[in-house]
Every structure is written in structure tokens, then in C-alpha cells.
Chains A and B, each alone.
Chain A
Amino acid sequence: MCTAASKACSTAAAVARPLLQIERLTKRFGGVVPTDAVSFGIAADEFHAIIGPNGAGKTTLISLLSGEITPQGGTIWFDGSNITSLPVHRRSRLGIARSFQITSLFRDFTALDNVALAVQAHRGHSFRFWRDARSEHELRQPALATLARVGLAERAGMRVDKLSHGEYRQLEIAMALASAPRLLLLDEPMAGLGPEESAAMVQMLRKLKGTVTILLIEHDMQAVFALADRVTVLVYGRIIASGDPAAIRQDAAVRQAYLGES
């Protein structure tokens, strides 16, 4: 475990054979530096949480990992390959899926349609112009199964703009899961959820744990410490601590950073 005191903190926390490895990733927006030479690694099937106060650069990090933003410096390695210059859709094809902090779905389609599209993206090419895609069992079946996995099976036929907020968050996860990803980037999946819904979400995430590599950004500390194998703390674009949850909980610098927060 590294702390702010140890000099090795901002550099790569050593992980044997990481699935995801980031080295000195840097992003600047004008005068702001949301990602400042960040380095860390995540092992396969690990459940890794990133926490930090608001404005720490967590969503920027996810966007850098998913490919929506290009970094000014640094490298991203996924399963041994350098993916730093790959566009978003290529990374998705490699097995990196993300959920969005602010719900981002296809509102004029049904929940099933939404997930089926995510399945479709990974099932061969889509230059098919004749057959009704909604009749394709090989798309609808896995989509339905994914919806069931997140607890939305009964809502399959419902138009997205008629769903509740909690159901949106569930659907966000379903979209990411639909492509059977190897790395799941979850950006505050519990944003805006009440206590019951949060508990249900934690249950669902617990079931996912170990079956897929997960990078979770969350403010909900209970969830984080219940689920994570390792926790990294990001403050103003820099890692100030990284290690197992218990140790992070006790770290002085971390407590200071969170004074009054969470």
C-alpha cells in the first residue's frame, strides 16, 4: 500500500500481470489539470474503486480510459497492448465497456432495444439492410438475459423515457454488461439512488465481482468498502493513496482530504 508520504505513490503501484495499466497519464484543460501523471494498474477480475472529493478528476479519468478524451501525455495498456490512440468504438470492441454518470441512453427506444443494440455492436457487422433486427433471436435473447441480470426483466418492453431514475441506473449497467466486457468502467452508478435502490445496486455489483474486472468510481463509501478489493484515492488529479480498503480507511492524508466529505 502506498501513501502520500511514500514517494512511490504517484507512480505505478505494482500489480502482477495487470489487465489495465496506466503510466503517467496526463490531461490538461486550459489552466486545469484533472489528470496529473497518474499511474496505476488493475489485475484481471479485480474490483478496484477510485474515490476522491468532487473535482478530483475521476470522470475525466474514465473518459480517458474509454477513449472519449485524448491525453496530453502518458500511456494506457490494456491486456498488454497500447491502446492510447485507439478511438472509443475500438476500445469497446476490445472489451472495455463503460456506464455513464449522467444517464446516456436511447430514449425513444425500449429498454430491450437499448440493450439489444449494445449486443448487436459485438455480434458481427451491422451492414444488414433487410431483416428486422428486432426479430433476431441472437440479439434479443442475450439482451433479455442481461436485463434479467440487473433486475430489469419486467421493464424490457418499456420505452426508456418512461422508466424511473433507479431503473435508468440499472439500465446503464446493463448496457455496459451486454457486450460481455473484460473491463467494466462504472461512473457513479449509484448517483441519485435512494437507500433501498443503493442496496440493490450493491447486491448486483457484488454478484458481478470476480466475474469481470471492474473499475468503480463512487461517492458512496459504504458501497466502496463493501465491494472493493483495492481502493485508489484521487485528489486534484493526483493519486494520494492506493491499497486495500482497510488501510485506506485509516490513512491520515485520506481522512484529511475527505474532511467534511462523504
Chain B
Amino acid sequence: MTASLEPVVKPALDAAPGAGLTPRTALTAVLLAILALLPLYAGLTGDPFALTLFTRVIILALGAVSLNLIMGYGGMVSFGHAAYLGIGGYAVGILAKEGIGSGFAQWPAAIAASALYALVVGALSLRTRGVYFIMITLAFAQMIYYVAIGLERYGGDDGLTIYRRSQFGGLIDLNNKTLFYYLCFALLLASIYLVSRIVNSRFGLVVRGARSNERRMRAIGFPTFRYKLVCFVIAGALCGLAGALLANHTNFISPALMHWTRSGDLIVMVVLGGLGTPFGPLIGAVAFLLLQEGLSRLTEYPDLILGPVLLLVAIYVHGGIEGLLDGRRRG
């Protein structure tokens, strides 16, 4: 019996989609190569700006990877994800101001604080669906934005300068821009790998199944709420890490980082790069931020072009840039 089923079992077990060289794979490979070699280019040309810009791209890509976990794979369109960038950043900033400069304390605090907020927001929001969920996550993010503005001791509306980057006791000096870049890059790759393991695990299949057909998931015996909540918390925690990185990168943190429109930026990155794909968030982050950067050099009114581009993508392209690459179009 087993022997005769082998030819069926093997392709069924082989879950890797799109094997072989596709435009998407090629683009990803090229992009990774460029990112890996970027500091060399920056060193050779003596242009520090590229390094600064791409460090930011990578950090925000990490944020997008975390959003992709819940949005792309889980179908939970959270419009409050920038909140975790802020919470992570403020954890670092507040601890730094209070004299705790060790990264070994700051970064876990950033992750834990973000996870906690995600737990509370998720517990309340995941009881709703669709548009309600979008609006509620939006509202909770805005709430934390106002809380930050109210924190006068930590800069309030003006923000908080972080004079010393997170200390790791000789292990690594974050002030070295190249080292910091590679650390961020390593963390990004690690998180992409982590997410890809999660989404193919038992847990991930439950979350993806809940996205596909929640009614059926419950009918076969899964209490979907708790799985979605855990997923939401993981995504929040990961984004908190990105927030800690961002605070270190800019030596500054302000409530503006948590404004809901920044959450919009993250959503754009995930969608542009292709929902529910492992490297999509990175592609989307690169595309979006480079587009923004390029347009602002071209014109004093970059959003006059960027805005309609997003609208056109929403109307005409299914699957974001991935869709463009794969030739998919809306009917």
C-alpha cells in the first residue's frame, strides 16, 4: 500500500513552491548580493550616505517582515504596526536616559514591551474582523502615539535624543557603521529564516489555514483565536527589535515614528513586495524607500507621484511587485 502511494506522497510532501529560476528568485539573489556588498561600495566611494540609507532600509525591512507574518500569511491587516517600532525604540531610549545603557537589558526590554502591547491589543482586536480590525489596530496605535507625546520627561512631542548607542560590553561596537549595518543585515536574514520556519510549522499552518478559511479551521477543531493571538505577539516582538535597531541607528526616537501613517508605510512595503512571500517584505522595503528617496531628489513634491503610484498598484496589480514579476494582472 505504502509503496504504491510513493509517487503521490513525494510531490505532496515537496511543498516548496516555484522551484528553479524565476524572475522573483533572480531579483532576490541580486538584491541580497548588492546588500551584502554595499559597505564595500560605500567604503570605496567614500559615500557614507548610501550606508546610512540602506541601514534604514534593512531595519524597516525587518519591520515589514514582522508585518508580513501576520498580514501576508495570517491575513490580519494590522494598521498599527509602527507602534512596535516606537515601543522598541522608546524602550531603548528610556532605559538609556535612566542610565541603563547595556544592550543586553535594552533590547530584551524592547522585545518584551512590544510583545506585551501586542498581547493586549491583539486580545481586544482579534475578536473583530475585516474593517473593524483595521480600524481598531489603527486606533490603538494612535493611542500609544499620544501616550508618547504625553511623556514629557522623555521628550514628549520633540522626541528623545539617545546619546550612547546600546552597549554590548566589547562584543560589538554599534558606533562602527559598517559593523552595525552587518548586524542589522544578519538580524534581517535571521528573521526571514525564522518566519519561513514558522509559517511551515504546525503553528504556521494553523494561522495560514485560519486566513484561508477560519470557519473550517474551527470546524476541524482548532481554537483559532489563540493561535492568531500568539502570531500577533510574535510579530509585535520582532518589530520591537526593529524599533530598538532604529533608535540606535538614528540616535533618536520620537512619537512621529509611531504615527499611523508610518504604519501605512509598512503596509505599503509588504504589499509592494508581495504578500505572504519570504523575501517580499525586503523587496518591498527596498522598492518603497528607494522610490521615496529617488522621487524626493527629483521633485519638491514627491508624494504627488508616489501617491498615485500606490493607487495604481492597488487598482491594477494583484500581488504587488511579485505580481508584476510573475505577470499577474487584475481581471
Q: Do chains A and B touch in the complex (CB under 8 A)?
A: yes
Interface residues of A (CB under 8 A from B): 66, 68, 87-90, 92-93, 97-98, 100, 104-110, 112-113, 117-118, 120-122, 126-136, 140, 144, 148, 153-154, 156-157, 175, 178-179
CB distance from B215 to the nearest CB of A (A): 6
Contact: B5 with A148, CB < 8 Å? yes
User: Does B153 make an interface contact (CB < 8 A)?
Assistant: no
Cross-chain pairs A/B with CB under 8 angstroms, 27 sampled: A68-B219, A89-B218, A90-B223, A92-B220, A97-B220, A98-B219, A104-B216, A106-B209, A109-B208, A126-B202, A126-B203, A126-B222, A127-B203, A128-B201, A128-B202, A129-B197, A129-B204, A130-B201, A132-B15, A132-B201, A133-B201, A133-B202, A140-B9, A140-B13, A156-B8, A175-B216, A175-B220
Contact across chains for A134 and B230 when beta carbons are under 8 A apart: no
Chain B residues engaging chain A, CB cutoff 8 angstroms: 5, 8-9, 11-13, 15, 197-198, 200-206, 208-209, 212-213, 215-224, 227, 230
Ranked 6 nearest A-B pairs via Cβ? A92-B221, A121-B221, A157-B12, A157-B11, A126-B202, A112-B12
State the Cβ distance, A115 to closest chain B Cβ, in Å.
Answer: 10
Given contacts A105-B216, A128-B203, A133-B204, 15 further A-B contacts (CB under 8 A): A68-B215, A88-B219, A89-B219, A92-B221, A106-B212, A117-B220, A130-B197, A130-B198, A134-B13, A144-B5, A144-B8, A144-B9, A156-B12, A157-B11, A175-B216
In the complex, what distance in Å separates the CA atom of A107 from the CA atom of B216? 11
Please, which residues of chain B bring their CB within 8 A of the CB of A153? 5, 8
Q: How far is the CB of A243 from chain B (nearest CB, A)?
A: 30
Q: Is the CB of A129 within 8 A of B198?
A: yes
Residue numbers in B under 8 Å from A129 (CB-CB): 197-198, 201, 203-204
Return chain B residues, CB-CB under 8 Å to A104. 213, 215-216, 219
State which of A148, A154, A179 has its C-beta within 8 Å of the C-beta of B220.
A179
**Complex Cα spacing A153 to B200, Å:** 23
From A87, A108, A156, give the contact of B212 (CB < 8 A): A108
Contact of B222 (CB < 8 Å), options: A105, A108, A113, A121? A121
Task: With a 10 A CB-CB cut-off, give which of B206, B209, B213, B219 has the most chain A CB atoms.
Answer: B219
> Which residues on the B side are within 8 Å of A131 (C-beta)?
201-202
C-alpha spacing A157/B215, complex, angstroms: 23
Chain B proximity of A168: nearest CB distance (Å): 13
Is the beta-carbon distance between B202 and A93 smaller than 8 angstroms?
no
Is chain B's interface secondary structure helix, strand, loop, or mixed overall?
A: helix
Q: How far is the CA of A117 from the CA of B206 in the complex (A)?
A: 8
Task: Select the residue from A92, A140, A148 with max chain B CB neighbours within 10 A.
Answer: A92
Q: Which residues of A contact B218 (CB under 8 A)?
A: 87-89, 92
Closest residue to A126 on the B side, CB-wise? Answer: B202
State whether A156 touches B9 (Cβ < 8 A). Answer: yes
Inter-chain contact A109/B12, CB cutoff 8 Å: no
Q: How far is the CB of A175 from chain B (nearest CB, A)?
A: 6
Provide the residues of chain B in CB contact with A108, threshold 8 Å: 212
* Contact partner, B221, options A93, A127, A133, A154, Cβ 8 Å: A93
User: A132 CA to B200 CA in the complex, in Å?
Assistant: 5
Q: Is the CB of B220 within 8 A of A118?
A: yes
A109 touches B212 (CB 8 A): yes
Given contacts A120-B205, A126-B202, A148-B5, contact A110 B12 (CB under 8 A): yes
Contacts of B209 in A (CB 8 A): 106, 109, 117
- CB-CB under 8 A from A106, the residues of chain B are 209, 212-213, 216
Interchain CB contact under 8 A, B222 and A133 = no
How long is the Cα–Cα vector from A132 to B209 in the complex, in angstroms? Answer: 15
- The reply to whether A105 and B213 form a contact with Cβ atoms under 8 Å apart is yes
Taken together as a complex, chains A and B put the C-alpha atoms of A109 and B12 apart, in Å, by 10
Are the CB atoms of B13 and A135 closer together than 8 Å? yes
Among A89, A90, A134, the residue within 8 A (CB) of B15 is A134
Distance between B75 CB and nearest chain A CB, rounded to angstroms:
11
State the Cβ distance, B326 to closest chain A Cβ, in Å.
Answer: 15
**Chain B neighbourhood of A89, CB < 8 A:** 218-219, 221-224
The residue on B at minimum CB distance from A92 is B221
